[in-house]
Structure formats: structure tokens, C-alpha cells
């Protein structure tokens, strides 16, 4: 019995080690719009699909709940994104495995696909965790590539706009078809996250 | 030839002019292979008839079964298919992938042809089981230098659209002749599956 428990723990430890070892350096790919770092950062979100999908998934998850929960999550996501981004920018490192963004897509996508009502605190915590994780990567990438920190404000602003644009009408969508469409979208996002995790762990992303 | 600008189209002119005059020079975004990955991912599911028929059959069967299977099956398939792709990316071997794909077409076609109505969990398990083979075979074939993430997005979207196509076709189920046609379509998918199986075993 003790041997089996030890083997289970060893397997769990090696899985954790694998996820951590699979982490890679943050890579910046800020587009040059010619309109300054704020616009560069805003556009960055729309070209970084791992970030954009996380924002979409979190916004859809929020709009599957009541108005107060959705509003709190819609505010928490960009706020945490900014906090994470500043921390990552200051540290120059994300301190997270590269697989963290894929894991956030899987978790948020599965929750959207499940379509269950979650406690308000949990939805807020998910928004904070997702915002912090993605913000950390963005901030670290900006610092590594020596980009202007204002780009972070552009990213956060774009995240706020996208979240609001989804949450505001999403809360009004009560038709069964619309709710089903949200859940189908969640399953797609989770599937993309799972494949993305596979690419990351195989070192091919 | 006389070129006429209608009164209705006039309001669009200032916007068009503004769009042209305010156009920015092309900006550099050094991520080569990004769009190519997306396009490859989108084209991949439709490049193999075995994959296409099985995906459409999932939608047909869902439409035949009605709610909640009509949306539960297409939700299950991409998720489990991605798990199959995940296993493939990690190098976990899956024996008999081509046989599994061919059998999926046979069984899904047979389900539609016979209008089978198993319990929902069994239908989801059946669809999910075969989705692993499809994901393992098709989810990982990324050409070098292309974005894996965008490949995955394209792949999942088109797979979902193939399900939606099946569901849309399956809506003929509400008419008597449509039900007969649907069963015929299931028989065709099953027969194609037999051909794929023969080819896989040959």
C-alpha cells in the first residue's frame, strides 16, 4: 500500500516537474502600428490568440452568471492582467511554466462548456488567476524585448474592451440557442487549449 | 459605358475616402508561418474523406436524436478529439488509428441508418471513443515552421463546422421523406467506412 502511494506521489511529482521544465522564455511579438506603444499593445491582444481566447472564454464564463458576478469578473480580469503585467515587467521573468496559458484555456473552456453556475468568489478568482497569468507573460515579454511599458496599458485596455463587449450583450442572451452556442464555443476553446498544451509540451509551439 | 453612382451608395463615399487616405503603411509583425498554420489547420479536416464523413455523421446522428444530443455530441467530439491530438503530440502510440477511423464511419453511419437511440451517455461515449482516433491521426500533422496554436484553432473550427453541416442536413429529419433520406445518408457513410476499413487492412 505504502509503495503504491509512493509511486503515485512520484508520478505526480514527475508530471509537475515536466510541466515546469517545459517552461520557455517569454517571447515578445509586439506589432509596430506606427501609432505608439499604446496602440501596439492593443493590437498585440488581437494577434496573440492564446491571450485573446482566454479573454473571450473568461468573458463568456462571466456572462453565463448573474449581473453582479459578471461585472465583478469583468473588472477583475483586466485589473489582475495589469497587476500581473507590471510584476512581469518589473521582474523580467514570468515565473510560470509556458503551459500555464494553455491550462487557463482548458480550465475556462471546460467551465464554459459545462455551463454550470459557479459561486461568485470562484468566478472572480478565476478571472484574477487568468489575468495574472497572462499579464505576467505579457509583462515579462515586454521587458525582455525592451519594449515601452505603455504597451502593457494597451494590452489591458484591449482586454477590458473585449471583455465588456462580450459580457454586456452576453448577459442579455437568455435564449436556449445562445446559451448552447456559448457552451459549444467553450468546448472549442478547451479543445484548442488542450492541443496547445500538447504543442508546448512537445516543444513544437 | 456610363458609370452611375446611386444616391444610396453616396454615404459610403466619405468612409471609403477616409479609409484610403488614412490607411497606414504595412506594419511588421515578425511571426512567419502564422496564417499558414491557420489555413493548414482549416484545410486538414476536409482533406480526408474518412474524417469528413465521420464528422458529418456525428452531426446527422445528433440531429436525429434531438435535444440534448444535438449539441452534446458536437461538444464531446472536439474535446475528446483534442485529447487524442494531445496524446499524439506527446508521442503516446495509439494502435490501429486508421482502422479506428474507418470503424467510426461504419458505426456512426449504422447508427444514423438504423435510427438507433441508445442512452445519451452511451452515444456520447461512442462518439468520444472514436474521436480519440481522429484527433491522434489528424491533430498533429503540422508542417514545419507553422504555428501550432493557429493550426489547432483552424482544425477545431472546421471540425465544429463539419458537425454543424451534419446538424443542418439532419434537420430534414422533421419530414417523412427527409427521415428516409437521412437513413440513406447514414447507409452511405457506413458503406464508405467499410471501404476505408478494407483499405486500412489491405
Tens-place pLDDT, residues A162-190: 999 999 888 888 777 788 889 989 999 99
In this structure, what is the dihedral angle of CA atoms B153, B158, B163, B166, given to the nearest 10 degrees? 170
ipTM of the complex: 0.74
Counting every residue, how long is chain A?
205
Please indicate whether residue A9 or residue B178 has the higher confidence score (pLDDT).
B178
List pLDDT tens digits, range A46-75: 888 889 999 999 999 999 999 999 999 999
CA-nearest residue to B73 within chain A is A184
pLDDT at residue A196 above 50? yes
Whether the CB-CB separation of A47 and B29 falls below 8 Å is answered with yes
CA distance linking residue A81 with residue A196, whole number of Å: 21
Q: Min CA distance, A169 vs chain B (Å)? A: 22
Question: Looking at residue A23, what is its pLDDT?
Answer: 41
- pLDDT tens profile B64-118: 888 888 878 878 888 888 999 888 888 888 888 889 989 999 999 999 999 888 8
Q: Give the pLDDT confidence of B141-182 residue by residue, as tens digits.
A: 766 667 788 888 888 999 889 888 988 898 888 888 888 998
Query: Chain B closest CA to A196's CA: distance in Å?
Result: 5
Distance from chain centroid for Cα A26: 15
Give the B window 120-149 contacts with A, CB below 8 Å: 139-140, 142, 147-149
**Cα dihedral sign, A72-A74-A75-A81:** positive
- Which of B22-26, B47-51, B65-69, B161-165 ranks highest by mean pLDDT? B161-165
pLDDT at B21: 47
Cβ <8 Å between B156 and A197: no
Interface check for B55 against chain A (CB to CB < 8 A): the answer is no
CA distance B156 to chain A (A): 6
Report domain extents, chain B.
50-201
Q: pLDDT tens for residues A22-52?
A: 444 444 567 777 788 888 888 989 888 889 9
Distance of CA A21 to the CA centre of its chain: 20
- The mean pLDDT of A87-105, rounded to a whole number, is 87
Rounded-to-integer distance, Cα B202 and Cα B194, Å: 12
Dist. CA B120–CA B182, nearest whole Å: 20
User: Which residues on B lie below 8 Å from A21 (Cβ)?
Assistant: none
Count CB-CB contacts under 10 A for residue B190. 21
pLDDT of B28: 41
DSSP category for residue A85: H
The values of phi and psi at residue A68, to 5°, are -65, -45
Quote the pLDDT of residue B7: 53
Question: What is the reported pLDDT for B24?
Answer: 42
At A64, list the grid cell: 453565463
**pLDDT tens track for B111-137:** 999 988 888 888 888 888 988 888 888
CA distance B196 to chain A (A): 26
Q: What is the mean pLDDT of chain B?
A: 80
Cross-chain Cβ contact A196/B155 below 8 Å: no
Q: Which has the closest alpha carbon to B126: B80, B157, B187?
A: B80
> What pLDDT score was predicted for residue A30?
73
Q: Which residues of A touch B134 (CB under 8 A)?
A: none
Could you write out the DSSP letters of every residue in chain B?
------GGGTTHHHHHHHHHHTPPPPPP---TTHHHHHHHHHHHHHH-HHHHHHHHHHHHHHHHH-TTHHHHHHHHHHHHHHHHHHHHHTT---TTHHHHHHHHHHHHHHHHHTT----HHHHHHHHHHHHHHHHHHHTT-PPTTS-HHHHHHHHHHHHHHHHHHHHHHHGGGGSHHHHHHHHHHHHHHHHHHHHHHHHHH-
Mean pLDDT of B191-196: 92
Amino acid at each position: 500500500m505504502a509503495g503504491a502511494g509512493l509511486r503515485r506521489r512520484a508520478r505526480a511529482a514527475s508530471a509537475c516537474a515536466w510541466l515546469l521544465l517545459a517552461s520557455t522564455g517569454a517571447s515578445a511579438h509586439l506589432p509596430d502600428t506606427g501609432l505608439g506603444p499604446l496602440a501596439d499593445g492593443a493590437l498585440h491582444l488581437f494577434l496573440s490568440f492564446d491571450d485573446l481566447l482566454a479573454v473571450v472564454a473568461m468573458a463568456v464564463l462571466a456572462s453565463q452568471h448573474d449581473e453582479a458576478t459578471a461585472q465583478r469578473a469583468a473588472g477583475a480580469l483586466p485589473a489582475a492582467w495589469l497587476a500581473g503585467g507590471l510584476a512581469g515587467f518589473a521582474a523580467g521573468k514570468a515565473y510560470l511554466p509556458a503551459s500555464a496559458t494553455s491550462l487557463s484555456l482548458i480550465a475556462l473552456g471546460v467551465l464554459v462548456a459545462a455551463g454550470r453556475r459557479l459561486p461568485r468568489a470562484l468566478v472572480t478568482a478565476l478571472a484574477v488567476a487568468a489575468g495574472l497569468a497572462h499579464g505576467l507573460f505579457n509583462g515579462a515579454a515586454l521587458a525582455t524585448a525592451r519594449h515601452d511599458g505603455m504597451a502593457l496599458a494597451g494590452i489591458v485596455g484591449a482586454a477590458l474592451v473585449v471583455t465588456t463587449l462580450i459580457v454586456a450583450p452576453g448577459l442579455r442572451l437568455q435564449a436556449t440557442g445562445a446559451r448552447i452556442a456559448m457552451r459549444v464555443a467553450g468546448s472549442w476553446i478547451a479543445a484548442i487549449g488542450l492541443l496547445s498544451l500538447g504543442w508546448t509540451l512537445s516543444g513544437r509551439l | 459605358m456610363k458609370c452611375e453612382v446611386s444616391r444610396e451608395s453616396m454615404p459610403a463615399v466619405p468612409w471609403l475616402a477616409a479609409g484610403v487616405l488614412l490607411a497606414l503603411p504595412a506594419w511588421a509583425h515578425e511571426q512567419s508561418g502564422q496564417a499558414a498554420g491557420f489555413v493548414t489547420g482549416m484545410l486538414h479536416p476536409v482533406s480526408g474523406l474518412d474524417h469528413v464523413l465521420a464528422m458529418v455523421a456525428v452531426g446527422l446522428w445528433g440531429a436525429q436524436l434531438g435535444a440534448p444530443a444535438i449539441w452534446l455530441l458536437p461538444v464531446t467530439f472536439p474535446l475528446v478529439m483534442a485529447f487524442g491530438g494531445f496524446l499524439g503530440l506527446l508521442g503516446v502510440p495509439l494502435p490501429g488509428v486508421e482502422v479506428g477511423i474507418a470503424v467510426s464511419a461504419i458505426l456512426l453511419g449504422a447508427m444514423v441508418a438504423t435510427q438507433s437511440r441508445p442512452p445519451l451517455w452511451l452515444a456520447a461515449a461512442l462518439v468520444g471513443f472514436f474521436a480519440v482516433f481522429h484527433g491522434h491521426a489528424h491533430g498533429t500533422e503540422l508542417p514545419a515552421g507553422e504555428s501550432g496554436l493557429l493550426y489547432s484553432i483552424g482544425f477545431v473550427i472546421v471540425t465544429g463546422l463539419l458537425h454543424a453541416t451534419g446538424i443542418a442536413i439532419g434537420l430534414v429529419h422533421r419530414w417523412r421523406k427527409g427521415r428516409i433520406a437521412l437513413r440513406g445518408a447514414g447507409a452511405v457513410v457506413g458503406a464508405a467506412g467499410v471501404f476505408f476499413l478494407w483499405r486500412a487492412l489491405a
